[in-house]
Amino acid sequence: MTTRDAFIAVNRFGLGARPGELAEASHDPRGWIERQLAAPPGTRPIEATGSQRMALFQESRRRGGDQAVETLFRQNFRDMYLDDMGRRARTQIESGTPVIERLVAFWSNHFTVSVQRPICLGLAGPFEQEAIRPHVTGRFRDMLLAVARHPAMLTYLDNAQSVGPGSRAGTRMGRGLNENLAREIMELHTLGVNGGYTQTDVRELAKILTGWSLGRPGENGAGGFLFRPVIHEPGEKTLLGVRYAEAGEREGIAALTALARHQATAMHVATKFARHLVADRPPAAAVDRLARVFRDSDGDLGALARAVAALPETWAQPAPKVKTPAEFVVAALRATGFAGESRTLVAAQALLGQPPLAAPSPAGWPDVAGQWIGPESVMRRAEWAMALAQRLGQRAQPMALYDATIGPLAGDATRAAIERAGSLAESLALLFASPEFQRR
């Protein structure tokens, strides 16, 4: 059953088979995963950093007000988004370490910043590169801290503007707290909604995080993370029963570290990770095992990924999950090596309902089939499969593609339908739309 396990490795852990990848993984499917996890996650050059782009925003607001900001969003940031996301998709399509790319996408979805907020058009790409990618096989705590300090997250969840009501600036200007980041860190990023925190804890964490803000034009490090003592709420705070003496920025570091190491966080992260890599409804034993690994390794995300690959439950079903729209597009393009330009790549994912880094809420995109598969979405996928098939033209060979992608798993009916299709385009479209290709 090695080829079946290779299908699991290449599709559930990777991003779908490139030509030859299935054969390569079939010698040692788990080794194929582990080798990628051992390599550093790499960097991709990006046009400008998040701080630089934030500084650009600050500068245009200072000089030209709302009008200039509108222009910046509509022109510069929009182009940057298309450019960043095109590069992102091409990396996913061409990568020789697709396991790493899957983890990058998983974690950037866990810590969602979304271009539903226009300013994130410029910031979401750098966010994924700077706050997520370096840590996907590193420590959860380091990723959480990088996320909470990134200009994209500080803006998306409003913390940059949150002011301690008792701080110097708060008492002088009558400004106050914004709970958004504090709440979502506990609800979505760490403890989970049933993780045992209260509304009071939300307020206290919001107070702790006051001052986690951004440098302004003219300051050192404009547009980047800057702790501002003048807006930090002074005094002792109590979070989840633990007291935090006044310590400025260090309060936030201590609080986020405690949240990263909390038992509820281990369960929350393990559940989401297992849902992504084992099954929509992962077995409780698998989740428990992962939570233990997370806790015992102090949130080592590389160890967590290796632990999933070691679970017997992971290999029990060949394809329990349905690919999301973005995964489907990437897998089809990996199979064919047909990448195309940035605009087309973003449009393809958007057409199927999942434009990149554009989740509708801070909770990120859903990760279960029932949320993605509906009467319209299956029709759309089939239509997109046909559109791709028509563009591939005469150079594609359906049966070679079949062997290189779903061969190990496909049933006779699928094989026969592809062989007997009325045209080359229909044959290819059936391959991409087939249930085996839709799953992972």
Partner 1 sequence: MISRRHSLALLGAAGATMAALGPRAALARAATDKRFVFVILRGALDGLAAVPPFGDPAYRSARGALAFAEPGRNDGALDLDGRFGLHPALEKLHAMYQAREMLVVHAVATPYRARSHFDAQDLLENGTTRPRGAADGWLNRALGLLGGGRSGDQRLGLAVGQTVPLVLRGATPVGAWAPQQLPELNVDFMSRLAQLYAPDPVLGPAIREGMRAQAMNDSVLRGGEGGGRMAQGGNGPRGPRSVAAAAQAVGRLLGAAQGPRAAVIEIGGWDTHSGQGLLTGRLAPVLRMLGDGLGALKTALGPAWRETVIAVATEFGRTVAPNGTNGTDHGTAGAAFLLGGAVAGGRVIGTWPGLAPNRLLEGRDLAPTTDLTGVLKAVLIGHLGLPLDAVDRVVFPGAAAVAPLPDLLRT
Q: By CB under 8 A, name the binding residues for partner 1.
A: 116, 157-158, 161-163, 165, 170, 175-180, 183, 187, 193, 199, 202, 322, 350-355, 358, 360-361, 363, 366, 369-380, 382-384, 386-387, 390, 413-414, 417, 421-422, 426, 429-430, 433-435, 438
CB of 270 to partner 1, least distance (A): 19
Residue keyed to tokens 């298309």: 82
Q: Which is nearer to partner 1, 307 or 348 (CB)?
A: 348
Q: Which is nearer to partner 1, 36 or 162 (CB)?
A: 162
Q: Return d(Cα 135, Cα 100) in angstroms, integer.
A: 11
Residue keyed to tokens 């479209």: 429
What H or E segment, with its residue span, contains residue 412? helix 412-420
Q: Return d(Cα 81, Cα 120) in angstroms, integer.
A: 9
Q: Which is nearer to partner 1, 187 or 327 (CB)?
A: 187
Sign (positive or negative) of CA dihedral 425, 426, 429, 430 = negative
CB of 359 to partner 1, least distance (A): 9
Contact between 283 and 301 under an 8 Å Cβ cutoff? The reply is: no
Q: Which is nearer to partner 1, 33 or 80 (CB)?
A: 80
What H or E segment, with its residue span, contains residue 239? strand 237-239
Q: For 29-59, give one letter per residue: b (16+ CB within 10 A) or e.
A: bbebbbebbeeebeeeebeebbbbbbbbbbb
Q: Return d(Cα 74, Cα 71) in angstroms, integer.
A: 5
Q: Which is nearer to partner 1, 118 or 134 (CB)?
A: 118
Element counts in the chain: helices (H) and strands (E): 24, 4
Q: Return d(Cα 50, Cα 133) in angstroms, integer.
A: 14
**Best CA proximity match to 154, nearest among 135, 174, 127:** 127
CB of 298 to partner 1, least distance (A): 28
**Best CA proximity match to 340, nearest among 330, 325, 351:** 330
Q: Which is nearer to partner 1, 19 or 166 (CB)?
A: 166
Number of Cβ within a 10 Å radius of residue 329: 29
CB of 158 to partner 1, least distance (A): 5
**Best CA proximity match to 269, nearest among 422, 143, 183, 91:** 143
CB of 396 to partner 1, least distance (A): 17
Q: Return d(Cα 412, Cα 308) in angstroms, integer.
A: 31
CB of 373 to partner 1, least distance (A): 5
CB of 412 to partner 1, least distance (A): 11
Q: Which is nearer to partner 1, 303 or 351 (CB)?
A: 351
Contact between 132 and 111 under an 8 Å Cβ cutoff? The reply is: yes
CB of 366 to partner 1, least distance (A): 8
Q: Which is nearer to partner 1, 125 or 170 (CB)?
A: 170
Q: Return d(Cα 388, Cα 386) in angstroms, integer.
A: 5
Q: Which is nearer to partner 1, 161 or 257 (CB)?
A: 161
DSSP state of 319: -
Helices 342-351 and 78-94 pack at an angle, to 10 degrees, of 90
CB of 248 to partner 1, least distance (A): 19
Q: What size, in residues, is the chain?
A: 440
CB of 217 to partner 1, least distance (A): 19
CB of 355 to partner 1, least distance (A): 6
Q: Which is nearer to partner 1, 127 or 372 (CB)?
A: 372
Q: Which is nearer to partner 1, 18 or 268 (CB)?
A: 268
